Amino acid sequence: MNPEVLLSRIRVVLCRPSHPGNIGAVARAMKTMGMSQLYLVEPKQFPDPEADTRATGAVDILERAVVTATLGEALVGSVYAVALSARQRDLGPAIGQPRDAVADLLAEAEQGEVALVFGNETVGLSNEEILHCQAAVTIPTNPEFSSLNLGSAAQVLCYECRMAAFAGKPPVRSQGATPFASPAATHDEVEGLIGHLEAVMTATGFFNPLQPGRLLPKLRRLFGRVRLEKDEVNILRGILASTQVRTEHGRKG
């Protein structure tokens, strides 16, 4: 299925969020990853100017957000839900890794709407809320400090959703031509440069052909590593030619 359609089927559900700023941050996290369905279960304060400020360009997601009284209502019509929890709950589903859980979530999204369910900033998800979900995920963290900010946790999961929807290779906007790039130099052009360098280095006395050492192989390795472009070969050869003109003038004068 088209990756954008898959992403449009994922609801992000925030249970009892306390800080409107976090709701805005989640909206922004979602929009950057091509997701749009935000559900808010009993938000403490919403709508709120702080949410708009933190959403910046994603206010449209806040405007379309669905506010419900219970998690059950936010999941109406969905076929699968993954709980986000910083710790294992007694009765909840076994905790999995985000990448695996998101692969399952997207497979389910082929059938219908699915959800990522996040908890309150202070108390997380309740046991009852977790039991509405078919899978649970903990983002692996420093064991000493495992609780992410709500917006950050949402960003990690939304990123994983985008990666999975595009099979690991989402298009990057800046892809395409590198500014100022010229075509790759050919083998003979690089050889011409090395020959030119050798001549100049010999003329200046930097290189002694009778005792070549490792200088030329090292230079070859350097050029092999940088993958020279045509323009770059021309610039370097221009510089070399200019030193030859000077040494010849020097000799004449």
Interface residues toward ligand SAH, by CB under 6 A: 84-87, 118-119, 121, 124-125, 137-139, 141, 146-148, 150, 153
Question: Least Å distance between CB 104 and ligand SAH?
Answer: 16
CB-CB contact of 93 with 125 (8 Å) = no
Question: Least Å distance between CB 89 and ligand SAH?
Answer: 9
Question: Least Å distance between CB 125 and ligand SAH?
Answer: 5
CB-CB contact of 32 with 6 (8 Å) = no
Taking the CB of residue 34, how many other CB atoms lie within 10 A of it? 18
List the beta strands (DSSP E) in the chain: 10-15, 37-41, 66-68, 78-84, 95-96, 113-118, 135-137
Cβ closer to ligand SAH: 108 or 129?
129
Cβ closer to ligand SAH: 87 or 227?
87
Cβ closer to ligand SAH: 118 or 207?
118
Contacts of 156 (CB under 8 A, 6+ apart): 98, 139, 148
- How far is the C-alpha of 1 from the C-alpha of 111, rounded, in Å? 10
Taking CB atoms, the residue at the shortest distance from ligand SAH is 124
Cβ closer to ligand SAH: 53 or 88?
88
Question: Least Å distance between CB 147 and ligand SAH?
Answer: 4
